[in-house]
Structure 1
Amino acid sequence: MTGNPLTTINEQLLKSIGVGIAILRWSDLTVYYHNAAFADWFGDPRKPGALSEAIEAIRESASTALRETGRFTGEVEVKPRRRTLVISVSLHLAEVEGEKMIVAECQNITRMRELEQMIDSYSKMVERNTRQLEREKERVEKLLLNLMPRKVYEEFKTFGVVTPQLYRNVSVLMLDFVGFTDFTEQNDPTVTLGELNDIFTAFDRISEQFGVERIKTIGDAYMAVAGMPDETPDHASAVANCAVRFLRFLERRNQSHRFKWEARIGIGSGAAVGSVVGVQKYVYDVFGPAVNMAARLEVFAHPMKIVAPVEMKYDLIDGFQVEEIGAYDIKGLGSMELINVEGNLSLARSF
């Protein structure tokens, strides 16, 4: 067989395309023929034990498949010259002169498997980085939603800027704690921060119930607005409900907590402008007559009281207890008739 030039050419061709060929007797696995590529991977079959490890690796599964279907396809690892190779093995039964033979076709797929592992590793890395980017995106989105209303955030995300908007009918709530400066001087900063965090978190939940948007906190000051960026017909009642429930919350909290908190609240109605301020450090801010009014009136409120302009009386009288407290000279606003606002009895019982 080796003296045939055509056979030599065929062997060289098979070796050049990376295919190993062998013919084995079914009964005892004696190798009748093999090419050079087969010997390079599995060892010279003429040497005792050369094929034993490779045969043992696939003997059971190959024997079963050949008996049942006459074919077997699998993979086996070999270590010629200390390098591990992955060889794809395809076996099928043939009959030669009445004797069963196994024709083995083998191909070195080591590089393919290495590439598959590299692709799989790269895919996992991309997937891991994608998940990390998604988490970062969610974290940034959550942070921005804490700085601005969702509608404003959507505009900012889409266009990169926020167009200043004038809202002609809004109501603003301004809250400030009594004795906050003394409290900070007498207690550890972590205590102060923990108390404010607990209280403001509760305020945020109350505001959300009434569609009121918390705009910002500055130290112990808490500012919220109703009627923007989405118009709200009952914006006055919304902020008044929040104000009453803020004080109810503090009253109940004071009954069970070591530190007692009292607050003053001013509410005002009118026009306001809302927009994102800043280029590198973004903050959504609201300013205008309604904001100025709420800030000015908060100063005139007694502890645990809510003060509003008398013009809001007719928006609140059906749902709240309203008491006129007279005229006051308000800085920048002139003389104004003011009212105290309290929750009605049914509200007090339901809270």
Structure 2
Amino acid sequence: MSRQVKGVVSMRKGAPVELRTVVVPDPGPGEVTVDVKACGVCHTDFHYREGGINDDFPFLLGHEAAGVVAEVGPGVSNVAPGDYVVLNWRAVCGLCRACRRGRPWYCFDTANATQKMTLEDGTELSPALGIGAFLETTLVAAGQCTKVDPAAPPEVAGLLGCGVMAGLGAATNTGEVGRGDSVAVIGCGGVGGAAIAGARLAGAARIIAVDLDDRKLELATTLGATHTVNSGRTDAVTAIQELTGGFGADVVIDAVGRPETWKQAFYARDLAGTVVLVGVPTPEMTLEIPLLDVFGRGGKLKSSWYGDCLPERDFPMLIDLYLQGRLPLETFVSEKIALTDVEAAFEAMKRGDVLRSVVML
């Protein structure tokens, strides 16, 4: 029997979010319902609210979540009721050309729930990143559930569902940061901070945090940054070059996703170095750069999709690192809030007051 629960919905572009009653159907074949325990407020949710992803309003927001499996549909074998899970938006299919070539982190046919959650009047909702977790109970594809150690509290575990995994994976998976490398991270919010933590885990010798906000730079040092640059007072490219013997960093990660920051990343890397774009641009953004500079500097220009992660491999490992005291996930949790506070959390995020507000359910 379907459930009626409270959830945060964006009804139209730019309008404040609303707390609405959402109808969640019983799970069908390959589907699971999850009682959400915590969900981070990610910048991607704000992008949805502003129409920066697409215009399939109304959106059911929230996607960075941990919870407990409530019910499973026919054919589900990877999870069972009572399992503690982190939700992911890359439920790999195993059949597409990327999966068949042994690169499932690039899966081109990831799964979402087939059924739609709706408002009381039957209006279908578009769940953010196929999840929709600012909700007491949500419906997802079984492959979107990754079992992890329940010793990790949900406000910490859920962060792996998007921002932390995206940033950490941008360093370790996409950027392939290695022991002794120099790394610069431009933009030190939740994603950039996670990239710094990932670079430290990978053994980088020099980790340079770049931001306009001294508060974020201070937090970056607690996550592993060895040097900080306030790009509002100092030219970021020059500073990074000076901190790397005049050469530039081996890997530069753009966690902002603007043409200006991508160019900074491009010119702040060493010859044959790597640029990783993990910040999400908006549709109207364009980039112009001399093609000769691209050719002459060599190296790799890469985009990071979800940190190029494989949730069933990476989430349990990162939770284990957290429980061992080697990955300070608690640093990312700036405040714990209620469902009714999501709009205020967006404002705090825009002001740069938080790394992550986390909705507790």
TM-score, normalization by structure 1: 0.21
Higher relative contact order (CA 8 A, sep 6+): 2
| TM-score where L is the length of structure 2 | 0.21
* Bigger helix fraction: 1
User: Larger Rg: 1 or 2?
Assistant: 1
